[in-house]
Amino acid sequence: KDYINKCIVINNFIDIDKIKKLSTKENIKRSKNKLLVFIGRLDDSSKKLSRQIKLVKEINNIDLWIVGDGPDREKYEEEVKKYNLNNRITFFGSKSNPYPYMKEADYIILTSDYEGFPVTYLEALCLNKPIITTIPTSDEYLNIEEYAYIISKDQSKMNKEVKKILESKEEKKTIDLEKIQERRMASLERLFNEVI
């Protein structure tokens, strides 16, 4: 109780210039299909990549790149084989620099059951990549619904919603992340000044 007015929640900061610079470090070839890119841990208890695999199965002319590793990679690879999607879904494993893969994306996709505020949102916005997500998590500085397409966790609805997004000409807003980060830093500085 003594600290209730002296506490704030501030989501992660990112190094905008570094991300932009790293995104140009590799040239990666892609097909002409629409490209969805997932970056993260391959763990079905929360990330639910099976939803993305089923999206590729149901919607023609889209590819999926999966950048990351985790305990369920083998399970996902078996699912890809089962649906005969090896030519449209690529597993890249963990990458110390995922940004060239993000740079190639038409959309960054997250189909988790739950998340905090994903750093991937900030990285995607930094690279001006639209986001498709099941997680409408925002904070006081950034309302993600203005910058991302929020979709259902129900597979049938998800398939329809993503198909509509891919066919749509609607563009989401872009954002000045530097200004957002300046506001976050100002909040931190105010808090420290009050404590001191």
Per residue in 18-40, pLDDT (tens digit) is 999 999 999 899 999 999 999 99
SS3 27: coil
Residue 55 has pLDDT above 80, yes or no: yes
C-beta of residue 123 within 8 angstroms of C-beta of residue 19: yes
| Residue appearing with tokens 């105010």 | 190
For the entire predicted model, the pTM comes to 0.91
User: In the prediction, which pLDDT does 12 show?
Assistant: 86
The candidate with the shortest Cα–Cα distance to 76, out of 91, 61, 59, is: 91
Q: Rounded CA gap, 186 and 188, in Å? A: 5
pLDDT at position 188 is 83
Helix, strand or coil, per DSSP, at residue 26: coil
Residue 138 is predicted with a pLDDT of 84
Long-range contacts of 13-18 (CB under 8 A, 24+ apart): 13/181, 13/184, 13/185, 14/119, 14/122, 14/123, 14/126, 14/177, 14/181, 16/126, 16/177, 16/178, 16/181
First to last CA, the chain: 19
When computed from its CA atoms, the radius of gyration of the chain, rounded to whole angstroms, is 18
pLDDT of 4: 76
Q: Which of 13, 63, 55 is nearest to 161 (CA)?
A: 55
Residue 37 parent element (H or E): strand 34-39
